[in-house]
Structure 1
Amino acid sequence: MKMTSSKLFIRPKIYQGESLSSYLMRIAKAYFTTIKEVYKWWGAGEIRKSSSIDYQPLESINIDLLCKQMNKGGVQIRSSTFFSLLHSLFDPIDGSIWGFTSECMEKKRRRYCPKCISKENIYYLYWQIKEIDICHKHLIYLEDSCLKCNQPLPYVGEGLADGVCPKCQFRLYQIIRSCINEKEIRHQVFLHSQWEELLYREHINTTNLSKGRYLAVKLLYISQNFEPQMVRGRIPLSSDIISGLTSYIRSDIESKKIYTVTLQFIRRVLQDNGVTVRKFYDTKVPSTYIESILEEKTRKTNVGSCLAPWCSSFGNNTGMLPIRVHKSHKNKYTLRNQHMCKFCSLKYGFLKDGEWIEKDGIISASFVGVPLLNAKYRLKDFADQLKISRYIASLFIAYFIRYKLVNSEVINKYKLFKEIENPLPYFQLLSEEKGIQVFFARKKFNWSQREYYFYYFDPQVQLFLNDDSKHTKLKINDKSNGIEHRQKLKLREKKDIKEVSWEEKNHIWRKADRIILEAKTKKIRLSNDNFFHELGRGAKWIKSQMPELINWYIQRKEEVTQINKIETERIRLENAITAICKLYKEGVSISHQRITEETGIERKYYRVHSLTTIMNSIIYDLYNSKITVYELEVLLQQNKSVEDWKSIFIKHLA
């Protein structure tokens, strides 16, 4: 039945702070009907999520008609939803509102204050914020289920407007849980004031950046304690988050790490830095900070100087090289952007607060430990004075001896072996062993523990052990110091194999080329088992008789894998675009969750392969009438590549 203004003579008052969904439930109560029937009066299509009334009011409700028939203002209705918050902070091109608010809002269960609903039977909007646990008026805990039957309350349901449980008809206000913790009360009152400002104040963006990108810049700016230029090492966030945000700010769609801002992330940054919502809104990011991000040429962080007084590069970073961080290693400090000085073998990194420190504490130990050793302290006494284990003490002493920080008497006391000129090849052999390398050094080379530690701090050895292949390339001389002889001892004697004729090799080459060509043409997955099975020869035989074929196969397999990856991305993107067209035709709200349900492909795949931005751009263009569904379907028939889709729909982000 279509309702007119003359038929709706009962027009309930909408209370300040009340949610729109609560107001609709009270209208249903006033007209002795159901919430589903009321939704038919003003609903904009089929509603799949009852919470969308409060999150997407413009898409869910005909606001103009509701205002006219209920004699209410549009501002009053919109303020009963999360419209102001989302309009201020959420950028539609970055994804769905459900992802933006997922960790902060309760969207399935209705939360309530027993005392509030006993008086007015209304449900306030801020009750759905997960951070808020108590009612700031009555100082009692909010509930989200019936305290009698323990069933969760639906977001919208019959009986809620009467303050009763839809399941067991128990009056929800009969049981209350009071909060008596003063500290918790003060914290909750503060949170309420912060969220009240978030809900109803507008975030101003005076830059040329999009809403989401400017928000990301501001959060980095706040995290770096309002410094005028971005320095990655001084931002107390993970390197993945920093890289993802800066890639997002620069619209670097080629990057595999692109993070968009969520409401949960905003709250986390503000809380970690002690910044209020008012200060957050009032903060204006200087242009120098924005330019330092946009003009950043590399992802490399500023590197500190060497702090060792005995090092030739003391006070500068000329000897700093990036090192590989072993994830299994438990460090005293969590350091970011770790580097090693190639002159003194000491490792450095940034703390969360941006301080540049030495990782292993050797420098600080030298100020106390070197005088103790020169004063003839024994190993046990040395360890006790520094309050360290004997193992760590032995490491420190080996370092002091290697770099001659102690006097000759101490060196002669601990260095009871003939020094090897180049220990690097020995450690290369040890790296092939699984287990404690000190044990294998004793077994293979007859090294004592002190001898192993002494060689361990050799600069070339440290470079090898901490090698970052992108920055460090070492030339290895395998023939020095008898290592060639030791390597020969490790090799097993091979059985004599009959030489293969040239004709047979040529036949195998042609067959291998045909297999690769077929895999590229049909874009099928190429596995080692299938390749060697079709070749008619095993991998071990090919490796011994035709090693050049193995190298050729590895290169061709990478090419096939890359082709298949590109094709898979293209097909899955087309599936997503097909789903977008279908949802748009059905007149339902297009979200990534619904696209996932249509395609069966996880949302994470689209994000990791940088397809989300293309999908968001297509959705944005559809809703803004920049392209029609028919035009999209024509493009789909042309089998365009992912790069083609990017060139068509990402241009407005440039």
Structure 2
Amino acid sequence: MDGTLTIKTRPYDGESLTAFLMRTAVRNKIPYLSLIDSVDIKRSKGFHLDYNPKFVTDLTKLCWLLEIDRKEFKSCSLGSIIELFLDEEQQLSHSYLDFYYQMLDTSYRKFCPLCLKEKNAYMLFWQISDIKVCLNHGVELTSKCPSCHQDQPYLSPSLIERECYLCKEKLSKSNHINFKKIVLSSEQSRLYHLWNSILNNEYKPKMYNGISKSEDIALRILYFCSDNKERYVSSDVKFLTPSGKWRLSSFVKGGKEYKPTMHLILNVLNKSGLEFSDLFEKEIPITFITSVKQLNQHRNWYSEIPLCQSPWCNSYNTSNTMIRAKPLSWETEKYFKAYMCTCCYVKYGRKTNGDYCEIGESYIWAYNNILTIFRERYSELKIMNILNCSNLKVVKYSVYFSVQGLLDKVNNIPIDPVRAPVDYFKRTRCRNVIPLMQAYGWGMREYFYYLYNKEVQLYLYAKHELIRNDRENTRENKYKDQLPDRETLMNLAKGYIEEKNEVGEVISEYRLYRNMNTYRRTLLKYHPEVVEYVEKEKEAQKLNKARSIEDERIERIKEAFDIIITHGEYPSMVRVTEASEVSKKYIQTHPRVKEVFLDLRRKYIEE
């Protein structure tokens, strides 16, 4: 190419940049690749020109060659969106596509057949995955040829001719679609409107020192969803899921994994029903930015596990026996992040300053105050008067320390304790003293003795995952207990297999294990030798079946040889296969059958 174009073309409003360049190349009768080489565009995947031209070129030479102002290309690519939301380094990186994650169709060229009839142009918005219908005609967008139904490539000179690259059928063929006008849904109209407003934006948001464009948009979304409040409070945020709030706030703090995406921005705008301009109309207060960053500092505590602070516990000053507990409330405060020691059953929750504290009536306080008085043999009534506390509290700590082995257990152990106290708590679905005492006739000491059973504590306070695992273990033991012994199972398997072999039927695993009243995976876990025996018998039956089929076909081949020789003809492979109805492939792939065939023909030749 000599550096000039005979025909100067202009892009249509909203036309895809790659489609415009293909149209320019075809009109000037030059290859598309020659055109992009001449204007210093990298030969990378063509869709980059539509979504971020800066990644492959600066368009300077192209504007000079076509005598076009750069502003005319603004509606031809999504580059202005990338420049608004991403920093310079990200704009020049292939990772800019993460911002459009799963929102753009980069494999095939989509089109409206009616639009192609009117104008030789492929619109940029047609490549957005969520846009399904043409804005002008209300017909469904497609990428398939009306005749051969092949998807059209993203870049091909045939697109400019408006014909299929494979069969050359016109893409605007009249029978391709039902021309009945479809009412454009409000959702599709809203998508067109939002994309158009974002693409043609003239916003220049104020950038704060040390904050990137991605962090700025994350802050704007949080500020927008918080009704423009001065400080960030997670519970005030609307239109975002809990994980969405956490991801954006953690990204502002310095996380690199969860950057805001175009999908998130559009989702927030759709839920709120507001416009894109609303994100940029107000400045974000410094107090809001500071509150988000301070909140994220607390997020660093997320992985911390408290240490057990009970001096009498075997896990004292360690976190070895700490497990997550259900959210707990005490007085006016609720602790969403709670832990429990499975050794001493003391619960810990995080305070607003980030430190862990004991939740509820303090066992540590009781250890330092009540236990010492108990050991001096004071009566419970005397202890109540000394510490000014209720009888319930004294009995509770007395039983607790007895269970923990710190006090004499004689007075605090029931005469005939129940075997599985957790079942009683499950039955009533309650942990309060009075209802359980009334339901089962327990005394106060009995109740607290059962309350401090390990299974009961896990059921009442541990997170649901632990309870579910415990139930699964219980179910597993139940299955194991219900299984017959290995010898019984083996006899059942042998009896079934012998019965099937006698009548010549196939061994069915489904019926076999149903006959045993169990499942294959259960036997594989507890009695794998039974499954191994069944597999061997199935394999042996399969071999015997194959052997009997071979014997039957060998007999047919022998009969075919006799018939062919009787008629005075040569027993060729073709004649034998026709007479015996045994395929040539079967004879050649089965050694025994092939050997018989060759022996018979050898004898014929020798005779």
Aligned pairs for 1:393-542 (under 5 A) are 397=428, 399=430, 402-404=432-434, 411-416=437-442, 419-423=446-450, 426-427=453-454, 430=455, 456=456, 462-463=460-461, 465-466=462-463
Is the partner of 1:27 in helix, strand or coil? Answer: helix
**What is the deviation of 1:403?**
4.1
Distance 1:312 1:189, change over 3 A: closer
Distance 1:318 1:136, change over 3 A: closer
Correspondence for 1:117:
116
Q: Return 5+ residue gaps in structure 2 as ranges.
A: 303-327, 341-355, 362-421, 467-607
Correspondence for 2:31:
34
Query: Do the aligned residues in 2 keep the contact of 1:106 with 1:128 (CA within 8 Å)?
Result: yes
- Is residue 144 of structure 1 aligned with residue 143 of structure 2? yes
Return the alpha-carbon distance in structure 2 between the equivalents of residues 68 and 392 of structure 1: 83
Residue of structure 2 aligned with 1:65, choices 29, 49, 61: 61
Distance 1:68 1:230, change over 3 A: same
Return the alpha-carbon distance in structure 2 between the equivalents of residues 180 and 312 of structure 1: 60
Correspondence for 1:551:
none
Aligned pairs for 1:158-307 (under 5 A) are 158-174=157-173, 175-178=176-179, 182=183, 184-208=184-208, 209-235=211-237, 237=240, 239-251=242-254, 258-296=257-295, 297-299=297-299
Greater RCO structure (CA 8 Å; 6+ sep): 1
Is the partner of 2:185 in helix, strand or coil? Answer: helix
**What is the deviation of 1:86?**
1.1
Identity %, equivalent residues: 22
Return the alpha-carbon distance in structure 1 between the equivalents of residues 78 and 329 of structure 2: 61
Is the partner of 1:133 in helix, strand or coil? Answer: coil
Return the alpha-carbon distance in structure 2 between the equivalents of residues 318 and 59 of structure 1: 51
Query: Do the aligned residues in 2 keep the contact of 1:10 with 1:30 (CA within 8 Å)?
Result: yes
Correspondence for 1:18:
15
- Is residue 85 of structure 1 aligned with residue 81 of structure 2? yes
Correspondence for 1:9:
6
Query: Do the aligned residues in 1 keep the contact of 2:207 with 2:213 (CA within 8 Å)?
Result: no
Distance 1:188 1:244, change over 3 A: closer
**What is the deviation of 1:319?**
6.6
TM-score, normalised relative to structure 1: 0.49
Distance 1:114 1:398, change over 3 A: closer
> 1:521-579: per-residue Cα shift (whole Å, max 9, x none)?
xxxxxxxxxxxxxxxxxxxxxxxxxxxxxxxxxxxxxxxxxxxxxxxxxxxxxxxxxxx
Return the alpha-carbon distance in structure 2 between the equivalents of residues 103 and 292 of structure 1: 33
> 1:212-261: per-residue Cα shift (whole Å, max 9, x none)?
101011122233343332223444645554343323212257xxxx4111
> 1:378-402: per-residue Cα shift (whole Å, max 9, x none)?
xxxxxxxxxxxxx9998595527x2
**What is the deviation of 1:422?**
3.9
Residue of structure 2 aligned with 1:54, choices 28, 33, 50: 50
Is the partner of 1:136 in helix, strand or coil? Answer: coil
Query: Do the aligned residues in 2 keep the contact of 1:139 with 1:178 (CA within 8 Å)?
Result: no
Return the alpha-carbon distance in structure 1 between the equivalents of residues 249 and 142 of structure 2: 40
Distance 1:219 1:88, change over 3 A: same
Letter in 2 for 1:49: K
**What is the deviation of 1:320?**
6.5
Distance 1:321 1:138, change over 3 A: closer
> 1:298-318: per-residue Cα shift (whole Å, max 9, x none)?
1279xxxxxxxxx9944x107
Q: Return 5+ residue gaps in structure 1 as ranges.
A: 302-310, 325-338, 345-390, 431-455, 470-654
Is the partner of 2:149 in helix, strand or coil? Answer: coil
Residue of structure 1 aligned with 2:40, choices 39, 43, 65: 43
Letter in 2 for 1:317: E
Return the alpha-carbon distance in structure 1 between the equivalents of residues 357 and 165 of structure 2: 65
**What is the deviation of 1:30?**
0.8
> 1:573-615: per-residue Cα shift (whole Å, max 9, x none)?
xxxxxxxxxxxxxxxxxxxxxxxxxxxxxxxxxxxxxxxxxxx
Return the alpha-carbon distance in structure 2 between the equivalents of residues 129 and 91 of structure 1: 23
Correspondence for 1:76:
72
**What is the deviation of 1:73?**
0.6
Q: CA RMSD in A?
A: 3.7
Correspondence for 2:132:
133
Distance 1:67 1:131, change over 3 A: same
Query: Do the aligned residues in 2 keep the contact of 1:213 with 1:249 (CA within 8 Å)?
Result: yes
Return the alpha-carbon distance in structure 1 between the equivalents of residues 280 and 179 of structure 2: 34
Return the alpha-carbon distance in structure 2 between the equivalents of residues 102 and 318 of structure 1: 38
Distance 1:466 1:283, change over 3 A: same
Query: Do the aligned residues in 1 keep the contact of 2:44 with 2:56 (CA within 8 Å)?
Result: no
Return the alpha-carbon distance in structure 2 between the equivalents of residues 284 and 272 of structure 1: 22
Return the alpha-carbon distance in structure 1 between the equivalents of residues 427 and 227 of structure 2: 37
TM-score, normalised relative to structure 2: 0.52
Correspondence for 1:304:
none
Is the partner of 1:138 in helix, strand or coil? Answer: coil
Return the alpha-carbon distance in structure 2 between the equivalents of residues 224 and 340 of structure 1: 31
Letter in 2 for 1:412: Q
Larger radius of gyration: 2
Return the alpha-carbon distance in structure 1 between the equivalents of residues 112 and 170 of structure 2: 12
Query: Do the aligned residues in 2 keep the contact of 1:18 with 1:80 (CA within 8 Å)?
Result: yes
Query: Do the aligned residues in 1 keep the contact of 2:78 with 2:199 (CA within 8 Å)?
Result: yes
Query: Do the aligned residues in 1 keep the contact of 2:86 with 2:213 (CA within 8 Å)?
Result: yes
Is the partner of 1:222 in helix, strand or coil? Answer: helix
Aligned pairs for 1:330-345 (under 5 A) are 342-343=359-360
Distance 1:2 1:340, change over 3 A: farther
> 1:144-169: per-residue Cα shift (whole Å, max 9, x none)?
22232222111111111111111111
Distance 1:412 1:252, change over 3 A: closer
Return the alpha-carbon distance in structure 2 between the equivalents of residues 245 and 234 of structure 1: 15
Question: Across the two proteins, how many residue pairs are aligned to each other?
Answer: 356
Return the alpha-carbon distance in structure 2 between the equivalents of residues 392 and 423 of structure 1: 11
Return the alpha-carbon distance in structure 2 between the equivalents of residues 112 and 393 of structure 1: 67
Return the alpha-carbon distance in structure 2 between the equivalents of residues 200 and 273 of structure 1: 21
**What is the deviation of 1:468?**
12
Distance 1:414 1:64, change over 3 A: same
